[in-house]
């Protein structure tokens, strides 16, 4: 096993070009042979091939789609957006397979969701959400899976102390992680998967879930996240989890429903989708790495506060009261 430590690297030109803010350092977590940071390196040939096959991404299509998307957004006068930033526009073109009209519609849903749930998004910064990271409920693996996808693990059973952290805080933590993932070209192309570990879920915990919370989560995942969420894996769920899932089912459309896979404690079932080499021992894997804990994630993400401020500065223009 290895000790994890947070390090700070000089910001590369690629890093600076991708950021909306002026960040001079690139935070990272060093863990043995892995360095977890916002990955902005040149795309590997196999990732470029995925982009070509699955997203229609070629230099010609990219250039044309950026030009058309910029023109479409210039007609949307209610927005304040970084339209001169090709990298930012590409973040929305990739999940919509470089169809400009679809990308414009995704941007409108993305910012419309933020506007609708302003109580969650206003001033959302890692430095203001220390509690969720300190609870160690959320983590992102330092490695990707065999298909290049980011792996987010959410543990809402034994680790979840409902008197210390709310579901809204869990949601904010997920938003912060996925906003960071959205910056990465490889994640934009390959997507992300989520593992919900429900080991130890209690009856009292299930009462914290409400239909309104379920509707918000499903609305976010189905229509408002500019990221390819490829699968949601439910593991270690007790029988009582059926009560929770029943709240979500009415809001699920077939596409997302088909991507939710229940495994219980059957590790062979999980391994049909995620190679054991990419998973820690607790999920039957052979990955010999310590889990990055919340304090390390917090230290890393707090160094990105300025970037999250920049992200928060765009969207629908706030109406001035008459």
Could you report the per-residue pLDDT of 214-243, keeping only the tens digit for each? 999 999 999 999 999 999 999 999 999 999
Domain termination site, one of 116, 136, 158? 116
Task: Give the domain CATH number at 106.
Answer: 1.10.8
Residue 191 token pair: 């997507």
Identify the domain containing residue 186 by its residue range: 126-301
Structure token pair of residue 193: 């998967």
Residues 102 and 140 in one domain: no
Say if residue 70 is in the same domain as residue 185: no
Q: For residue 270, what is the domain's CATH number?
A: 3.40.525.10
Give me the phi and psi of 319, to 5 degrees please.
-75, 135
**Res 321: pLDDT:** 47
Query: pLDDT category, 191, cuts 50, 70, 90?
Result: very high
Q: Determine the Cα–Cα distance for residues 140 and 79; give it in Å rounded to an integer.
A: 32
Domain's final residue, options 95, 116, 137: 116
318 domain residue, yes or no:
no
Q: Are residues 58 and 109 in the same domain?
A: yes
How many domains are contained in the chain? 2
Give the model confidence (pLDDT) of 257-283 as tens digits. Answer: 999 999 999 999 999 999 999 999 999
Tell me the pLDDT band of 204, cut-offs 50, 70 and 90. very high
pLDDT at residue 39, as a whole number: 81
Q: Clarify whether residues 50 and 148 are in a common domain.
A: no
Name the 3-class secondary structure at 258: coil
Domain match, 90 and 169 both: no
Residue 246, pLDDT above cutoff 90: yes
* Torsion, Cα of 203, 209, 129, 304 (10° steps): 120
Residues 57 and 182 in one domain: no
Question: What string of DSSP letters covers 261-301?
Answer: EEEET-HHHHHTTS-GGGSBGGGT--B--PPPPHHHHHHHH
Statement to judge: residues 57 and 92 lie in one domain: yes
């Amino acid at each position: 096993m290895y000790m994890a430590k947070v390090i700070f690297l000089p910001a590369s030109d690629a890093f600076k070009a991708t950021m909306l803010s002026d960040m001079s350092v690139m935070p990272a977590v060093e863990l043995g042979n892995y360095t977890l940071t916002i990955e902005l390196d040149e795309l590997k040939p196999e990732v470029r091939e995925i982009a070509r096959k699955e997203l229609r991404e070629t230099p010609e299509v990219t250039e044309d789609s950026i030009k058309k998307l910029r023109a479409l957004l210039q007609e949307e006068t209610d927005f304040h957006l970084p339209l001169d930033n090709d990298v930012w526009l590409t973040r929305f073109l990739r999940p919509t397979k470089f169809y400009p009209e679809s990308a414009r519609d995704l941007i409108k849903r993305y910012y419309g969701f933020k506007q609708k749930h302003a109580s969650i998004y206003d001033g959302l910064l890692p430095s203001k959400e220390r509690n969720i990271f300190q609870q160690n409920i959320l983590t992102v693996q330092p490695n990707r899976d065999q298909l290049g996808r980011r792996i987010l693990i959410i543990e809402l059973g034994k680790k979840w102390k409902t008197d210390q952290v709310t579901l809204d805080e869990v949601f904010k933590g997920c938003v912060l992680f996925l906003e960071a993932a959205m910056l990465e070209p490889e994640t934009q192309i390959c997507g992300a998967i989520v593992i919900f570990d429900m080991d130890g879920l209690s009856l009292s915990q299930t009462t914290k879930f409400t239909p309104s919370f379920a509707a918000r989560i499903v609305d976010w995942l189905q229509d408002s996240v500019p990221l390819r969420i490829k699968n949601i894996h439910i593991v270690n769920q007790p029988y009582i989890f059926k009560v929770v899932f029943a709240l979500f089912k009415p809001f699920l459309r077939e596409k997302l429903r088909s991507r939710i896979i229940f495994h219980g404690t059957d590790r062979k079932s999980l391994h049909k989708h995620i190679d054991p080499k990419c998973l820690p021992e607790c999920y039957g894997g052979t990955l010999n790495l310590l889990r990055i804990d919340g304090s390390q994630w917090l230290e890393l993400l707090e160094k990105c506060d300025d970037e999250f401020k920049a992200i928060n500065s765009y969207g629908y223009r706030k109406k001035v009261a008459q």
